[in-house]
Amino acid sequence: MEPMKPMEPMKPMEPMKPMSGGEKWWPGDLGHPSTTGSQNGLRYAFFADRHRLLIEQDGKLTTYDSGDHHISGVSQQEKQDQRLAFTSQNGSMNLDELKQVD
């Protein structure tokens, strides 16, 4: 029986290309969002330093004043009214608790 031959060194791998951040769908004057997400045809972007939450649904963009909330997630209640709930440092809150702004 012959002794095992040593393994050949691995060839260098090509570096990974950065993932695309997706298209920017919010107004540029808001800067970069703290968090974004999408679910069931709805997109949201939260801008902590500007206290703004943007919701895009069915091509309509709506802006909300987030007040002291720092939003980190979204959930959609699967009832007839399809209400949105967001997670913040204060716990869960409904979208109708925020003031809509122009």
d(CA 64, CA 78): 22
**Per-residue pLDDT reduced to its tens digit, 43-96:** 889 999 999 999 998 889 999 999 888 888 777 666 545 577 888 888 888 888
Query: How many domains are there within the chain?
Result: 1
Which is nearest to 50 in space by CA: 26, 85, 74, 73?
26
Domain assignment present for 28: no
Domain assignment present for 94: yes
Residue 62 domain boundaries? 33-101
CB 76 within 8 A of CB 82: yes
Per the structure block, which two tokens stand in for 28?
Answer: 């540029």
Task: Answer with the residue of higher pLDDT: 77 or 12.
Answer: 12
Domain assignment present for 12: no
Domain assignment present for 17: no
Domain assignment present for 8: no
pTM (2 decimals)? 0.70
User: What dihedral do alpha carbons 31, 32, 35, 40 form, nearest 10°?
Assistant: 80
DSSP 8-75: PPPPPPPPPPPPP-----S-GGG-S-SEEEEETTEEEEEEGGGTEEEEEETTEEEEEE-TT----EEE
Domain assignment present for 15: no
